[in-house]
Amino acid sequence: MTTNNAEELLSAYSPEDVLGYAKPVKTSLIIKGKLSRGIVEEISRAKKEPGWMLRLRLRALELFEKLPTPNWVIGLEELDLEELAYYVRPDVKEPAVTYEDLPPEIRDYYDKLGIPEMEAKLLSGITFQFESETVYHKAKETLEKKGVIMLPMEEAVIKYPDLVKQYFSKIYPIADHKFAALHYALWSGGAFVYIPKGVKVTEPIEAFFLIGQSLEGQFEHSLIIADENSYLHFIEGCSAPMLKRYSFHDGAVELYAHGGSAIKFTTIQNWSKNVVNFNNKRGIAEENARIDWIEGGLGSRITYTYPSSILKGANSSSSSIVIQMSKGPYVKDSGSKMYHLAPNTRSKIINKSISVDGGVNIYRGLVKINKGAVKARSHVECQSLILDDHSYAYTYPHNQVEEPSAIITHEATTGRIGEEQLFYLRQRSLTEQEATSLIAIGFIEDVMKDMPFEYVNILRKVIEIEFSKVGGLG
């Protein structure tokens, strides 16, 4: 494949094409400086938090200072926390309930991303975060009628302290690693969703996160609780315009699926090329519950994301389907983790990556089957496509079995586009570029068919349209 064609492939999802350069947006509060107890207290004060949350933040700060930088982290040389604004409040007093209430420059981002149309067609609720705060939040009446609680995270802390306390930081522990501790010290924004027993939310809920300027930190925290026999599909979207320097995203997602419930969590990560992205995601599944992670990693300078499921209850299950694309001197370090703690638990991991133009894709996964997880089953598949001779694909799977009746199977392949595939398509009068594009789309398509959801179809169409510019496939 030629470099030009490869560039065409990866420019398809470039957010720069959509959002353009960052525009100035009026802010009402910026907190920055050397990270300290004072900074954390200032953030907590600004958010008018209860004391227990401030104590949690300060404990996290202590841990951040004590914990070493993980050895597996690479490419963060430029990251200087003292340069960053830890908290940026856009000049919006309360989350808007209509688009018209939003400042025009923020609304412009919204429109370009097609979010109003998406909300009208597909979603039962949406929360839109700009910088550190929620600027737009809306839930359809049907949610309220069903007893679903959907709030910006900080509002939930105040309105439902007992419910939040029960789960917050219990699924993704503060001490998990240094950047998890940093997240808890500085968190702001995110969504809280509680689905009552037996309630099925048929239309998805979406949270959209946007970083608007260079040298900002975004630390949103989303907590989703599905009570017994309930169902929810939650979508997380991330984007940023072109930034002159880097920005830092260190978000977290916690899912709790009670007995018999199911949560599907979809992430479309489309940060611009100057965003360093940590995304800490973990879920716990009780008996007969299910957690599905779906992730499309398109943008960012470097991404660290490892969706994890703890299969705590018997017969619980989880899947993780991840597509990562890395173009240019950028790194996608991703992987899924499945912890089987109970009998008859099931997990499946599918990871597909495309590397081009010096891009690096890393799969770093873990399947652990504990003693007592009788007849647990797990299957892992990693497929990497490298489109030129100077890109990279690395696979680091860890398969750990402590239960003799359990089975883990794993397979991985790394390769190029086969000559015979190209030959076959060329014989059918496609040019080499057209054939290459078609094969690359097919490679992605294979995973996308497991995403039975309109939002992802739209994403696929975007990629196809972009291909049509070079290959005439549209």
Partner 1 sequence: MSSVKSVGLDKPLTNLKVSKLRLLADIIPVQKYGDSPTIKHYTNWSKLLRIREAERALKSTKGALEGILRFSLVLKPEDIIIDSASTTYMSPLKNTRDFKWKIPVENKLQAIHAYKWYRGASLRLSGESDASIYLSPGEGYVGYHLEINIDPNSRANITLILDNSSQSSLHSSSTLINVGSNSQVSITTLERSRGATYHYKYVKLGNNSRVESRILASGGEATRFREDYLLEGPKASTSIRGSSVSKADERLDLIINTIHRAPGTISELKTRGIVSGCSTVAHRGVAKVYKNAEWSSVDVESFLYITSDKARAYSVPVLEVDTGIVESAKHSTAVMNIPSEIEFYLMQRGLSRNDIIKLISIGLLEIAAANLELGELGKIYL
Q: Which spans of this chain sit near partner 1 (rule: CB under 8 A)?
A: 1, 70-72, 74, 177, 306, 337, 355, 360, 362, 364, 366, 371, 384-416
Task: Return the number of the residue (400 or 457) whose C-beta is nearest partner 1.
Answer: 400
Q: Which amino acid is at 57?
A: R
Task: Return the number of the residue (235 or 362) whose C-beta is nearest partner 1.
Answer: 362
Task: Name residue 251's beta-bridge partners.
Answer: 279
What is the nearest approach in angstroms of partner 1 to the Cβ of residue 370?
10
- Output the furthest CA–CA distance in the chain (Å, rounded): 70
Residue given tokens 């794993």 in the structure block: 410
Q: How far apart are CA 303 and CA 288, in angstroms?
A: 32
What is the nearest approach in angstroms of partner 1 to the Cβ of residue 17?
25
What is the nearest approach in angstroms of partner 1 to the Cβ of residue 366?
5
Going 413 to 374 to 342 to 289, the CA torsion angle's sign is positive
Task: Return the number of the residue (21 or 396) whose C-beta is nearest partner 1.
Answer: 396
What is the nearest approach in angstroms of partner 1 to the Cβ of residue 385?
8
Q: How far apart are CA 335 and CA 295, in angstroms?
A: 10
Task: Return the number of the residue (61 or 366) whose C-beta is nearest partner 1.
Answer: 366
Listed in sequence order, the residues at least 6 apart from 250 whose beta carbon sits closer than 8 Å to its beta carbon are 179, 182, 183, 186, 217, 218, 219, 278, 280
Other CB atoms closer than 10 Å to residue 256's CB: what's the count? 25
Write the CA distances from 228 to 49, 258, 259, integer angstroms: 30, 5, 5
What is the nearest approach in angstroms of partner 1 to the Cβ of residue 461?
27
Task: Return the number of the residue (58 or 175) whose C-beta is nearest partner 1.
Answer: 175
Q: How far apart are CA 143 and CA 30, in angstroms?
A: 34
What is the nearest approach in angstroms of partner 1 to the Cβ of residue 414?
4
Task: Return the number of the residue (198 or 399) whose C-beta is nearest partner 1.
Answer: 399
What is the nearest approach in angstroms of partner 1 to the Cβ of residue 304?
8
Write the CA distances from 208 to 64, 112, 116, 151, 402, integer angstroms: 27, 13, 12, 13, 40
Task: Return the number of the residue (200 or 416) whose C-beta is nearest partner 1.
Answer: 416
